[in-house]
Amino acid sequence: MSGPVLPVLGAGGWGTALAAAAARAGQEVRLWARRPDFAARLAEVRENREYLPGVLLPPQVQVTSDLPGAVAGADFALLVVPSVGVPELLAGLPRQLGVVLCAKGLAPDGSRLSEYAAGLGFDRVAVLSGPNHAEEIGRGLPAATVVASRDPALAARVQAALMSPHLRVYTSRDVTGVELGGVLKNVMAVAAGMGDGLNLGDNAKASLLTRGLREMNRYLRSLGAEEETVYGLSGLGDLIATATSPHSRNRAAGEAIARGESPQQGGKVVEGLRTAGLLDAWATAHGHDLPIVRAVAHVTRGEWTPQQGVRHLMGREAKGETAADERA
């Protein structure tokens, strides 16, 4: 064991994958599941057949439904529950615990999860994000991710705990860029999925993702994020993975909507569906132009059809491609 026990709080697909990845990196892991019956079953069969079938938990992973016991003696914990469940989970944790937020969504009030945690009195907060599908991380396929924190010591400890020949972990101090890159790319992936469902073709998808990245950059830079972060693993890298992969819930949800089907996927949370409305409300309140976010928000609220969303984007006023062109 390379350090103290590592709690992974949340036994969905991503939590299970991170628990397996941490065990491969030499950690003793406590994987916490909210439901006692689910925890007991997972502890017995050692396979999360509901959320991540085919991935066996290494012997270093202990499964529990006892939250205080899961974090006892730990320096930090990975919080791997959907964004809507993060506030309740934080409320049950000791404030001296370092918290690593692994959800790619916003708090119920629209704030960033890291800001929400800080507001509750957590002094050591980090976010983990990157092009990381649970189906691949769980199987040990090579990948890279980023942990961002304004506490360099916490980021370094998380890096050391997860770094392995299977997972390369980078650190960053740009919490804003890393955290919100993961939020924005989900909405772009829903839009990409709608294009797939409408059979709009490769040119349309490439154009959407290019302009989507520009939209992400404009929004994130306005909040103080670094451009290098936008074009790094948690921005461009995660956008590519989420908008193109068959593993992506957000892309699949957009495709289902375009086909007139339900976007819900067996009870699994699709963060981009909820986030689109929150981001659109923020853009409207602050006078920001986020056209792809707006189109997705209108479609997911049932106010537009996917075809109307396409017409909105294609019918916008003519302009130059870059900011310099627009100013000329």
Binding positions for NADPH: 14, 34-35, 51, 104, 134, 249, 269, 271
Find the catalytic residue in 112, 124, 133, 185.
185
Residue 16: partners with Cβ closer than 8 Å, 6 or more residues away: 31, 48, 51, 52, 55, 57, 134, 138
> Residues annotated in the binding site for NAD(+), as ranges?
10-15, 134, 249, 268
Q: Where are the alpha helices (DSSP H) in the chain?
A: 13-24, 36-45, 67-71, 86-91, 113-119, 134-137, 152-162, 175-197, 202-222, 227-230, 238-244, 249-258, 271-286, 291-300, 306-314, 323-327
Q: Do the beta carbons of residue 5 and residue 28 sit within 8 Å?
A: yes
> Residues annotated in the binding site for sn-glycerol 3-phosphate, as ranges?
104, 130, 185, 238, 248-250
Q: Is 205 designated active site? A: no
Block residue for tokens 């709009």 = 200
> Residues annotated in the binding site, as ranges?
10-15, 34-35, 51, 104, 130, 134, 185, 238, 248-250, 268-269, 271
> Residues annotated in the binding site for substrate, as ranges?
104, 249-250
Measured distance CA(283)–CA(293) in Å, rounded: 9
| Order of all β-strands in the sheet with 167-172 | 61-64, 29-32, 6-9, 76-79, 98-101, 125-129, 143-149, 167-172
Active-site amino acid positions: 185
